[in-house]
Amino acid sequence: MDIGDLKKRIFIDLTKVKDLAELEQFRIKYLGRKGEITFVLKSLKDLSIAKRKKLGTEANQFKKEIESKIENLKSQLIKQETKTKEREKKIDITAPGIRIVHGHLHPLTHIMRKIEDIFQSMGFRIIEGPDIETEYYNFDALNIPQDHPARDAWDTFWLKTKPQRLLLRTHTSPMQVRFMEKNNPPFRIIVPGRVFRYESTDASHFYNFYQLEGLMVDTHISIANFKAVVEEFLKKLFGEEIETRMRPSYYPFVEPGFDIEMKYLSSDWLEIMGAGMVHPNVFKSVGYVPGNWQGFAFGIGIDRIAMLKYKINDIRLLYSSDLHFLNQF
Amino acid sequence: MKVSYNWLEEYVEKLPKPEKLAELLSVHSFEVKSVEKSNEDYILDIDILPNRAHDCLSHIGIARECVAVANSKFKIQNPKFTESKNLKTRDFITVEVQDRDACPRYTARVITDIKIEPSPTWMQKRLAAIGQKPINNVVDATNYVMFETGQPLHAFDYEKLEGKKIIIRGARKGEKIITLDNEICELNEGTLIIADAKNPLALAGVKGGKKAEITVKTKTIVLESANFDIKVVRATCRETGIKTESSIRFEYGLDPNLTEEAINRVTQLIKGKITKGIVDIYSKKTLSVRMRLNLSKIENILGIRVSKQQVIKYLKSLGFIINDSLRVTVPTIRRDIEIEEDLIEEIARLIGYNNIVTSHPFGLLGMARLNDELIVTNKVKTIFESAGFNEVYNISFVGEADIKKFDVNREGYIELENPLSIDLKYLRKDLLINLIKDIKDNSKTFLREDKAIKIFELGKTYRQENKKIEEERMLTGLIVRRSGKMKGESFYETKGLIDSLLNKLGISDVWYDDFQATPEWTDNIFWQRTETAEIKVGDEEIGFIGEINTTILNKLNIKAEVAAFNLNFEKLLKLAEEELIYKPPSLYPAAVRDLAVLVNLEDRVADIQNIIEQIGGELVFDVDLFDMYEGEEIPDGKKNLAFHIIYQSYEKTLKDEEVDKIHRRIIRELEKNKNWEVRK
């Protein structure tokens, strides 16, 4: 048996190994159970002691040598293959992502959630009321006199209902009365809801739209308190940099009454809400003793807020169900 | 109202410059919409608030505000004229007021020796500046004084009065009047008119008539300065459709004490012989309101401290009489001031709302109770958003054409008395009509082979039922496809969505029943009967899912498959409020067996599923249909249903033999049906 020959052959063979799979084959061929080196080692037992000793040592040394060569080559090949794999796996991060189909909530939903969050954080409860109202709740109980031009400010849709002639609420204020009839102060509430006006439509007017009523009543709620609440609200909604101011206005269900104007991304003052201190006659109509309670009420057009915030130039878009429009929210 | 700056200057000392004045008025009184230069004058367009129209639709009224906001002084001008010594007004004319409530005050004067000619240039200029057309010296003077004092006036040609009488009475049946604009007005019985002994002369407070019109021949005039009731004037306007500068002022309720001042002012402006005395029918005199102001109440409402001196100064500047103990006498011209709060508003606005320092409300700020309904509402919307739905807000109305096109039952629809148009004649009874219409407008761009339109709305519906008005929120949506990849794709997607929605809301015991239209809340006309189901929770029906009737789609020319769901949101809210009960998972492993059954096409998944659950009992943890197939390789009239059955016990680990035993029993039971073949 000549190990030298085998050695030579093995070394030549090893140089031909190109990848991990071939290396494994190589290992099996020579070191496996039926491998040539294994065979040599096994066949030692048939030799004389002297030969066995000499050849044995040589063969074992050789085996170790080969084993370590295999290990070296292996780690070298692993490195090499990782590199190749990485190259193959590399992706073009500039190619577009896989589209996730998701829907869109309506801009009015987005804005109402924001508004509701802000008022909830200030301790306001959110309640809702009916769209179909009686003349009493929409006008009379709110100190809006019958047969007075003040009532003309609310162009009303009347319904052919029987036995009572009903109407579509022209504002969310009827809920002031409905709520106070059933609850005693102190309280703070907001009432969002759809309201209706009998008026011709254009870019800033529509026959149905959304309003938010606010009402806070206690023993000492003042105009100064109103200013604090409303400024907090507007700043949280539109940002700290806005400016606000107030000027006198008239709503029959408040006294004093005022409007709030705001400067937002523009140098013009925009009327943003009407408000005032709850009129004693409204307290009377819900059965409160007027002198005992005092508070403020306000009303905001939600559509207008959404239009300002999202720069929507036509209120009709909000009710158009046009997906070009809705997909942007 | 258009207000002339020069005119104001006549009454106000040291009137601020126009721009400055506009700002002061806007902050303390009324919004000034514009200031425009006009020749040597400036015209302010002022938005008078409805509660102040009775005194501020006039230059003097605005001047009073200017005095207060500019901290200035009022220049008082008492009319100066000389009355005739021998001609007495009461010899010329008698006035009879038949209804003292309709006409609380009527004052008249007579001027003779009049020459009708153009009015003086200064007057013409003023009237033109505020947009009034000059006519002649008499008419212009009455107009001028109306814009100055707010009191409408009228002049009659004395020679044309029958019986030298003026009677304020209700019109008789069949009476007519020809107005100054040559319009013939048939009068309703009772409409308040000014008449002579025989004929109507004018619509009281609204418009004069041809009968006693001032013409170039007029020599003697009767001047009228009267007070008419709000309701009466409004009724006349409504009946005749006429609205004038005069009627607008009466509609706001004028101060009866104003008539005398105004008639004297106009008398001063017309050249002629003024007869002696004034005819004045004024029985119930309007007196000043008196009240006490309380400093602490002012502070309580404003939230800032205001001194007594300030209060006195502000109220005096507006013409109120006030003494040191804060007893206030309100001038009768300020009919809007009735209670203490009204006075506090005057003080607040003169201080300026912007000068009130903000302060946060006292009181324990309890955490607001989160509104359960709102939480569910937000959750529902978010679930739809994540499922690829777009939310829409449709209008609350449907039109006559919709009712016809959709062929829905008219019963229960609430009709509007005054719709804006025939397309907005009814309140919507469901959300479906408008949602289906939404498809049409969007299908061109958004409905593609590979893309469905998915929209939903959460909104109110309205109906009348046995004299009861029902207002309910509905949750309705559509999935629209050109054509599905498999039969009923959109239906099953909708069903899956509803399952997951109800699951997320913690509503269990959900099942689907055969469709039986219940007309009170869904019109069966919408649905394709064979592809529609009722959604039930326990015994309660909470909505429908199904395909929209092809007849409707054809009529609307919608070329697509439309699956819809229509849920009663009020019912959903109630169910969602019930508490979710947690069930711990089993501690023992589950075993899965698959089962494929060949059944007739008309057979239903639920029939097979029921048998599996019935035989398997508590050990069947879940049954999941993973394939439903008909077509190639399947015999005609058959379909293949494939289920994963998950076996699991809460008590022990199930051995393979045990699972197999139950599984075999299920198969045996299924095969009892001759039409079913379990594929092995």
A118 and A77: one domain?
no
Q: Is residue A208 situated within a structural domain?
A: yes
Q: Can you name the CATH fold of B289-355?
A: Phenylalanyl-tRNA Synthetase; Chain B, domain 1 (3.30.56)
Q: Are residues A10 and A132 in the same domain?
A: no
Fold match, B2-69 / B289-355: yes
Closest CA to B340 of B288, B303, B304, B290: B290
Mean pLDDT, residues B389-393? 97
Predicted confidence (pLDDT) per residue in B78-136, tens digit: 888 999 999 999 999 999 999 999 999 999 999 999 999 999 999 999 999 999 999 99
* Residues A157 and A64 reside in one and the same domain: no
Q: For B372-577, CATH number?
A: 3.30.930.10
Task: Answer whether residue A102 is part of any domain.
Answer: no
- Residue B529 pLDDT: 75
Which residues of chain B make contact with A153, given a CB cutoff of 8 A? 50
Question: How large is the average pLDDT for residues B231-238?
Answer: 94
Per-residue pLDDT, A162:
85
Question: A204 with A259, same domain?
Answer: yes
SS3 at position B157: strand
Asked if residue A21 is part of any domain, the answer here is: yes
**Assigned CATH topology for domain B83-282:** Phenylalanyl-tRNA Synthetase; Chain B, domain 3 (3.50.40)
| Residue B342 labelled as part of a binding site | yes
Helices of type H across B150-242? 230-240
Structural domain contains residue A14 = yes
A113/A27 same-domain check: no
CA proximity to B537, closest of B571, B585, B586, B497 = B571
Look at B385 and A105 and tell me if their CB atoms are within 8 Å: yes
How far is Cα B255 from Cα B259, in angstroms, rounded to an integer?
A: 8
In this structure, the answer to whether residues A207 and A307 fall within a common structural domain is: yes
Domain identity same for A168 and A247: yes
At the topology level of CATH, where does B2-69 sit? Answer: Phenylalanyl-tRNA Synthetase; Chain B, domain 1 (3.30.56)
Q: What is the pLDDT of residue B579?
A: 59
CB contacts < 8 A (A, B)? 221
CATH value of B591-679 in 3.30.70.380, 2.60.40.10, 3.60.21.10, 3.40.50.720? 3.30.70.380
- Could you tell me if residue A98 is inside a domain? no
Closest CA to A215 of A148, A125, A100, A155: A125
Q: Are residues A294 and A179 in the same domain?
A: yes
CA atoms within 13 A on the CB side of A158: 7
Same domain, A153 and A220: yes
What distance in Å separates the CA atoms of residue B191 and residue B239, rounded to the nearest whole number? 9
Could you tell me if A46 and A165 lie in one domain? Answer: no
C-alpha distance from A108 to closest chain B C-alpha (Å): 9
Query: Containing domain of residue A221, as a range?
Result: 107-326
pLDDT tens sequence across A172-196: 999 999 999 999 999 999 999 999 9
The answer to whether B636 is annotated as binding is no
H or E segment and range at residue B245: helix B245-251
Residue A99 domain-assigned?
Answer: no
A135 touches chain B (CB under 8 A): no
Residue A172 lies inside a defined structural domain of this protein: yes
Chain A residue nearest residue B393, CA to CA: A319
Asked whether the predicted pLDDT for residue B449 surpasses 80, the reply is no
Q: What is the pLDDT of residue A288?
A: 96
- Residue A255 among known ligand-binding residues: yes
Every domain of chain B and the residues it spans: 2-69, 83-282, 289-355, 372-577, 591-679
pLDDT class of A48 with cuts at 50, 70, 90: confident
Q: Which residue of B has its CA nearest to A164?
A: B467
Angle at Cα B385 formed by Cα B380 and Cα B388, nearest 5°? 130
The set of residues, in sequence order, having a beta carbon less than 8 Å from that of A297 and lying 6+ positions away, is A173, A176, A213, A214, A215, A253, A254, A275, A276, A277, A278
Q: What are phi and psi of A152, to 5 degrees?
A: -65, -15
- Model ipTM value: 0.85
Strands A125-126 and A187-196: parallel
Q: What is the CATH number of the domain that holds A115?
A: 3.30.930.10
State pLDDT tens for residues B287-307: 999 999 999 999 999 999 999
| pLDDT tens digits, one per residue of B575-600 | 886 655 667 778 888 899 999 999 99
Residue A97 lies in a domain: no
Answer whether A263 touches B (CB < 8 Å): no
The lowest-confidence range among A77-81, B159-163, B345-349 is: A77-81
pLDDT tens for each residue of A254-301: 999 999 999 998 888 999 999 999 999 999 999 999 889 999 999 999
- Under an 8 A CB cutoff, do B442 and A104 touch? no
